[in-house]
Amino acid sequence: GEDVEQSLFLSVREGDSSVINCTYTDSSSTYLYWYKQEPGAGLQLLTYIFSNMDMKQDQRLTVLLNKKDKHLSLRIADTQTGDSAIYFCAERRVNRDDKIIFGKGTRLHILP
Amino acid sequence: DAGITQSPRHKVTETGTPVTLRCHQTENHRYMYWYRQDPGHGLRLIHYSYGVKDTDKGEVSDGYSVSRSKTEDFLLTLESATSSQTSVYFCAISVGVVSYNEQFFGPGTRLTVL
């Protein structure tokens, strides 16, 4: 397909791990990104991974990349109420004028 | 926030009226972008600019025009607003080395076309 695909909703209990999944489309994409959008705000870059990496860890965030399946995931350990937001996956498509293409976003809801 | 501001932050207008949204940056970045965000569609690129007077279309450019006469300002114009253009509009800039292409986003403009 042509779209970056994500599930629209995810509910997780506070303290558990959240895993947000994404499938992208272009095997030549060089950078893959995760952005966070809090209510009423713009998008904020959380983390990114270069396509020659399998994993990147940054404090509570772990990004896993499966290039064969074009699958990207974001794991948030010890999920907190402040993690409640919409998370966007994005890919930088080298063969599409080098634009960044965003998924539709996954709304993460934290249960008490 | 990489020094990005958008104005106005909120606007209500009527169908058929012209509307101009402004994006202003303070750090002389070359690349600037206009996106719209709609439920079920995520972020879609409207237009982008790669320098003063250099602009190009994105995936949803119909009904929109842009201008960039100064590095710091990127204007988005709806010549004759329609209800389908009710949306939240985000401006973004690219920072860092070219191969990184990280984008920083402005706070957004909520536009309602009645």
Residues of chain A with Cβ-Cβ distance to B1 below 8 Å are: 42
pLDDT at residue number A97: 63
> Tens digit of pLDDT for each residue in B55-86?
999 989 999 999 999 999 999 999 999 999 99
**Chain B residue with the nearest C-alpha to that of A31:** B100
Any chain A CB within 8 A of the CB of B63? no
Contact B40 A45 (CB under 8 A): no
Strand order in the sheet with B4-7: B4-7, B19-25, B73-78, B64-70
Contact A100 B105 (CB under 8 A): no
CB A43 within 8 A of CB A107: no
What's the CA gap between B43 and B91, in Å, rounded? Answer: 11
State both tokens at A101.
Answer: 């293409």
Contact B101 A100 (CB under 8 A): yes
* End-to-end CA, chain B: 31
Any chain B CB within 8 A of the CB of A28? no
Which residue, among B114, B111, B53, B52, has the nearest Cα to B87 in the 3D structure?
A: B111
CB A17 within 8 A of CB A86: no
pLDDT grade for B99, boundaries at 50, 70 and 90:
very low
Residues of chain B with Cβ-Cβ distance to A31 below 8 Å are: 99-101
DSSP string, B20-86: EEEEEESS--S-EEEEEEETTTEEEEEEEEEETTEEEE-TT-TTEEEEEEETTEEEEEESS--GGG-
CB B93 within 8 A of CB B77: no
Any chain A CB within 8 A of the CB of B53? no
> Tens digit of pLDDT for each residue in A27-51?
777 789 999 999 888 899 899 898 8
Higher pLDDT among residues A50 and B19, named by residue: B19
> Tens digit of pLDDT for each residue in B37-59?
998 888 999 999 988 999 999 98
Tell me the pLDDT of chain A (112 aa) as tens digits: 467 899 999 999 999 999 999 998 877 777 899 999 998 888 998 998 988 889 999 999 999 999 889 999 999 999 999 999 999 999 887 665 667 889 999 999 999 8
Mean pLDDT in residue range B18-34: 93
CB A38 within 8 A of CB A25: no
